[in-house]
Amino acid sequence: MVSLHQRQNPPRERFIPNPKLKFMEQCREVMRFRRLALRSEEAYLQWIKRFLVFCRDHPKFTPPAEETEREPLAQGHHEWRHPKDMGEPEVRAFLTHLAVQRNVAAATQNHALNALVFLYRHVIGRDFELLADVKRAKRMPRVPVVLSKAEVQRLLSAAPAKYRLFFQFLYGTGLRLMVA
């Protein structure tokens, strides 16, 4: 029996990107096809680039090149590898690196994971198991960001008199600034 969800959302075929495009353009093409928000697209592309650089710069993930095929690379330089030639060990190492060496927030690590799952599932067409043995970033306790009435009054009264009305207006309207 077919569920209501399956009738309303039939499984879509995987979109195959144009093989003549460069890899990152193929990623962008799939993201546009799947109608990702522009900010999500930009963030995912950045995480994919960081993942590729990480894998290039960590020699334990670079396969040894045969000396007969090409000349050796300079000290400290490694070769780029295509993500289809990589998999779970590299993703696991990258996510662990983010948590342990880079000390990123849990939400940042999750965002990187989502970008890499998108890459492998939708661009490369390969799923991998959930990464159980990845060192996870610790979630920090959430501190409330709302001031009490007394704190707001003290804050507004501390403002210079000629700017006080401006600050009261900003506070009263709840204006927010989105940082890029």
Residue 146: is its pLDDT beyond 70?
Answer: yes
Residue range 100-104: mean pLDDT, rounded: 90
**Which of 11-15, 115-119, 147-151 shows the lowest mean pLDDT across its residues?**
11-15
Is the predicted pLDDT of residue 78 greater than 90, yes or no? no
pLDDT band at 17 (very low <50, low <70, confident <90, very high): confident
**Which residues lie below 8 Å from residue 112, measured CB to CB, with a gap of 6+?**
47, 50, 51, 94, 95, 98, 104
- Is 78 domain-assigned? yes
Q: In 3-state terms, what secondary structure has residue 154?
A: helix
Segment among 71-75, 83-87, 132-136 with least mean pLDDT: 71-75
Same domain, 117 and 40: yes
Residues in the chain: 180
Contact 137, 105 (CB under 8 A): yes
Domain contains 133: no
Number of domains into which the chain is organized: 2
Query: Are both 115 and 159 inside the same structural domain?
Result: no
Residues 79, 161 within the same domain: no
Q: How high is the pLDDT of residue 67?
A: 41
- Contact between 45 and 67 (Cβ < 8 Å): no
Structure confidence at residue 14 (pLDDT)? 79
Same domain, yes or no: 55 and 100 = yes
pLDDT the model gives residue 34: 93
Any residues with CB less than 8 A from the CB of 139 and at least 6 apart, and which?
A: 105, 106
**Predicted confidence (pLDDT) at residue 65 exceeds the cutoff of 90:** no
Q: Is residue 134 included in any domain, yes or no?
A: no
Question: Distance (Å, rounded) from C-alpha 79 to C-alpha 61?
Answer: 10
| Domain match, 35 and 86 both | yes
Give 113 or 139, the one with higher predicted confidence.
113
Q: What pLDDT is recorded for position 77?
A: 55
**Residue 32: which pLDDT band, with cuts at 50, 70 and 90?**
very high
pTM for the full predicted model: 0.64
Average pLDDT score, the chain: 81
Residue range of the domain that includes 120? 14-65+74-124
